[in-house]
């Protein structure tokens, strides 16, 4: 049987992004008969799709790369502190080539349905081209933000110019010189695009529903010499990442916010504002995340920074969030974003005042006026975390649908398995530390854990693993406990499962794990060390 016609594997991994690539590496090393399927034409996941101008890490590149191979760490030179999409995709291709992983990957393979066959302890998968595959284990490596969502404006098909969601940015260069461009959405993506294209297009009009708090990325190149120094510190760098809640290099300031003077707070903030990366968020006082007084004072500080950077005071006020504090949503990091609004070719339209009524043949109409465009960019975000699962018809024991089980919010054990859905693993799913993490750091730990469990079962001849309802109930309680004190749970954002463009996603739901990666790792290790406490085997 050729690989092309082969229809049964021990393990099928769905998704050839950062998680799927490492997962297949570990399975191949273990001698498991496994394959990775991806709906895309090639590997890379997030970094395959998001080709919009300005797409880049806001993790330090050298903390984002895989840590599992010293040889790989020694060979790869990250050229920028926060590397851009083309280089990130090159990196993932380099990894796949180096470890000869491509031959275990199938592209243009979209999984439409997965059904658990209880008699055989197998999963039966249906691809969108009608093919059927089977396997003992399914490992979902489908990404957190892989289901882009468009607004539901009328007339969207009638637009005669070019329009696309940022996730589907065309592979060939888009000529924007001299063009009239609209960007709808000012999340992390919109903020990256706007900063990048403002000085390259004819006219840029930004349609903002709600502003986001944002701070400078402070990117810079990495020289050969600096890279050599980074290589010599990799052990230390990854050790730091392993002990921080979000898997970053940035460690929180341990001083109590209320125990230092205002001058001391300002000194810290002035320093962090000019430093690269997420320090402004993650090396801040811990109270920023939990204490409304601390959060309000810091938010006022950032608001002043915005006022200093944006010349027109009316525009500046529009760019300052009034309905939530800094850092209670995912903080976009920006490059020249606020300065973009000082340019005469850039215009900000506040669509909370004048909502978009429809898309027209030549542009769009707000309640105030018509705008003409050559290109409309939808930077309108994703059906986050559970979206990719919702769109697959996944049926576990008794034909139960995952979508129905999760209708009132996801339930999992360790964010890695689901009661009623044996032999299915979610590497980057709800209630898993990877939801709130410098993601490869958490992915490596999850892949290692799942691989060890598969090896454990193989050694014992087990054919089925599934969490108990009690383990799942206790994990849900723990997930809720970790989020209880966090201000982010009081705000509508994708981190709380809100998406105004998807029916039913209008209720705040705990979908992330806020206990921090070290605590999460401890829980996973405890379960494994005790002989996989909370799981039943057959
Ligand atoms: P986000 O952060 O969800 O941002 C989406 C943006 O699009 C946000 O400003 C939304 O406004 C806006 N939006 C969404 N739907 C509409 C409609 N219908 N009309 C007007 N404006 C709309 O997604 P991103 O892609 O920017 O970032 C996602 C993650 O990718 C990011 O956190 C990183 O981890 C990488 P709203 O705030 O909802 O009013």
The finding on whether 430 has its CB within 6 A of some atom of ligand 1 is no
| 329, 301 contact by CB (below 8 A) | no
* Model pLDDT, residue 85: 98
Mutate to test the pocket of ligand 1, among 150, 154, 378, 380 (most ligand atoms within 8 A of CB): 380
Task: Give all strands (DSSP E) within 95-159, no chain letters.
Answer: 105-106, 111-117, 122-127, 132-140
For 254, counting Cβ atoms within 10 Å of its Cβ (0-12 exposed, 13-18 middle, 19+ buried), the class is exposed
Mutate to test the pocket of ligand 1, among 155, 188, 496 (most ligand atoms within 8 A of CB): 188
Report the C-alpha gap between 215 and 143 in whole angstroms: 25
Max Cα–Cα distance, the chain, nearest Å: 72
Q: What are phi and psi of 489, to 5 degrees?
A: -75, -10
* Model pLDDT, residue 4: 67
| Distance (Å) from CA 387 to ligand 1 centroid | 15
Question: CA neighbours within 13 Å on the CB side: how many for 401?
Answer: 9
pTM listed for this prediction: 0.97
Q: Between the CA atoms of 89, 93, 99 and 100, what dihedral angle is there, to the nearest 10 degrees?
A: 150
Report the C-alpha gap between 443 and 454 in whole angstroms: 16
- Whole-angstrom Cα Rg for the chain: 23
| Distance (Å) from CA 501 to ligand 1 centroid | 10
Smallest CA separation from ligand 1 atom 27, residue: 188
The finding on whether 515 has its CB within 6 A of some atom of ligand 1 is no
The finding on whether 501 has its CB within 6 A of some atom of ligand 1 is yes
Report the C-alpha gap between 424 and 472 in whole angstroms: 14
The finding on whether 210 has its CB within 6 A of some atom of ligand 1 is yes
| Distance (Å) from CA 361 to ligand 1 centroid | 24
Q: Which residues contact 29 (CB under 8 A, 6 or more apart)?
A: none
Q: Which residues contact 232 (CB under 8 A, 6 or more apart)?
A: none
Q: Which residues contact 96 (CB under 8 A, 6 or more apart)?
A: 21, 43, 102, 105
DSSP label at residue 174: P
Q: What are phi and psi of 499, to 5 degrees?
A: -150, 115
Task: Kindly list the distances between the CA atom of residue 335 and the CA atoms of 248, 301, 377, 395, in Å, as whole numbers in the listed order.
Answer: 20, 19, 19, 44
Given the structure tokens 């000869």, which residue do they identify? 100
Q: What are phi and psi of 353, to 5 degrees?
A: -90, -45
| 384, 426 contact by CB (below 8 A) | no
Nearest-atom number in ligand 1 for the CA of 148 is 25
For residue 236, what are its two tokens?
A: 């230390």
Nearest-atom number in ligand 1 for the CA of 330 is 32
| 241, 63 contact by CB (below 8 A) | yes
Average pLDDT along the chain, 538 residues, taken 10 residues at a time:
80 98 98 98 98 98 98 98 98 98 98 98 97 98 97 98 98 97 98 98 98 98 98 98 97 97 98 98 96 98 98 98 95 98 98 98 98 98 97 98 96 98 97 96 98 98 98 98 92 94 94 96 98 98
| 351, 366 contact by CB (below 8 A) | yes
Q: What is the per-residue burial (b if ≥16 Cβ within 10 Å, else e) of 490-517?
A: ebbbbbbbbbebbeebeeebbbbbbbbb
Judged by DSSP in three states, 408 sits in coil
User: Kind of pairing, strands 333-334 and 215-216?
Assistant: parallel
Report the C-alpha gap between 317 and 306 in whole angstroms: 9
The finding on whether 188 has its CB within 6 A of some atom of ligand 1 is yes
| 218, 274 contact by CB (below 8 A) | yes
* Model pLDDT, residue 5: 79
The finding on whether 379 has its CB within 6 A of some atom of ligand 1 is yes
Q: What is the per-residue burial (b if ≥16 Cβ within 10 Å, else e) of 106-126?
A: beebebeebbbeeeebbbbbb
Smallest CA separation from ligand 1 atom 14, residue: 380
| Distance (Å) from CA 186 to ligand 1 centroid | 6
Q: Between the CA atoms of 188, 189, 194 and 195, what dihedral angle is there, to the nearest 10 degrees?
A: 60
Mutate to test the pocket of ligand 1, among 56, 187, 364 (most ligand atoms within 8 A of CB): 187
Report the C-alpha gap between 325 and 302 in whole angstroms: 10
* Model pLDDT, residue 485: 87
Question: Please, which residues bridge with residue 135 across strands?
Answer: 9, 123
């Amino acid at each position: 049987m050729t690989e092309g016609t082969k229809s049964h594997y021990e393990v099928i991994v769905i998704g050839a992004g950062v998680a799927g690539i490492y997962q297949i590496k570990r399975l191949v090393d273990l001698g498991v008969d496994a394959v990775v399927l991806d709906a895309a034409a090639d590997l890379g996941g997030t970094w395959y799709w998001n080709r919009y101008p300005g797409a880049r890490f806001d993790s330090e590149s050298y903390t984002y790369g895989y840590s599992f191979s010293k040889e790989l760490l020694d060979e790869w030179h990250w050229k920028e502190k926060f590397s851009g999409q083309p280089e990130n995709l090159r990196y993932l291709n380099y990894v796949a080539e180096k470890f000869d992983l491509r031959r275990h990957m199938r592209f243009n393979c979209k999984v439409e349905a997965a059904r658990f066959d209880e008699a055989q302890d197998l999963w039966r998968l249906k691809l969108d081209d009608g093919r059927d595959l089977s396997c003992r284990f399914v490992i979902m490596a489908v990404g957190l933000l892989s289901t882009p969502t468009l607004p539901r404006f009328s007339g969207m098909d009638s637009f005669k110019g070019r329009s696309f969601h940022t996730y589907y940015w065309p592979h060939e260069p888009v000529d924007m010189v001299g063009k009239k461009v609209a960007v709808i959405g000012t999340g992390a993506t919109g903020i990256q695009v706007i900063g990048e294209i403002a000085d390259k297009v004819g006219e840029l009009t930004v349609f903002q529903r709600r502003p986001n708090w944002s701070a400078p990325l402070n990117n810079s190149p990495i020289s050969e010499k600096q890279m050599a120094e980074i290589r010599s510190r990799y052990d230390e760098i990854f050790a730091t990442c392993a002990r921080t809640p979000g898997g970053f290099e940035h460690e929180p300031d341990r001083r109590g916010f209320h125990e230092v003077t205002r001058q001391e707070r300002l000194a810290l903030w002035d320093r962090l504002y000019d430093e690269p990366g997420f320090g402004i968020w993650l090396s801040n006082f811990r109270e920023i995340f939990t204490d409304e007084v601390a959060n309000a004072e810091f938010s006022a500080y950032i608001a002043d920074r915005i006022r200093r950077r944006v010349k027109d005071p009316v525009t500046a006020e529009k760019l300052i969030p009034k309905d939530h504090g800094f850092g209670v949503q995912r903080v976009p990091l920006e490059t020249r974003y606020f300065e973009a609004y000082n340019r005469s070719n850039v215009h900000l339209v506040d669509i909370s005042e004048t909502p978009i009524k429809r898309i027209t043949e030549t542009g769009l109409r707000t309640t105030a006026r018509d705008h003409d465009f050559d290109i409309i960019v939808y930077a309108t975000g994703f059906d986050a975390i559970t979206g990719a699962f919702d769109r697959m018809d996944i049926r576990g024991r008794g034909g139960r649908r995952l979508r129905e089980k999760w209708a009132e919010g996801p339930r999992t054990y360790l964010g890695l398995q689901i009661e009623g859905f044996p032999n299915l693993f979610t590497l980057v799913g709800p209630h898993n530390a990877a939801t709130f993490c410098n993601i490869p750091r958490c992915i490596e730990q999850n892949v290692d854990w799942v691989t060890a469990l598969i090896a454990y079962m193989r050694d014992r001849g087990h054919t089925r693993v599934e969490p108990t309802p009690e383990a799942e109930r206790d994990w849900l309680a723990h997930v809720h406990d970790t989020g209880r004190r966090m201000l982010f749970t009081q705000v509508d954002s994708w981190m709380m499962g809100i998406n105004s463009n998807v029916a039913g996603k209008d209720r705040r739901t705990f979908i992330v794990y806020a206990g921090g990666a070290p605590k999460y790792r401890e829980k996973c290790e405890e379960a494994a060390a005790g002989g996989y406490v909370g799981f039943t085997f057959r």
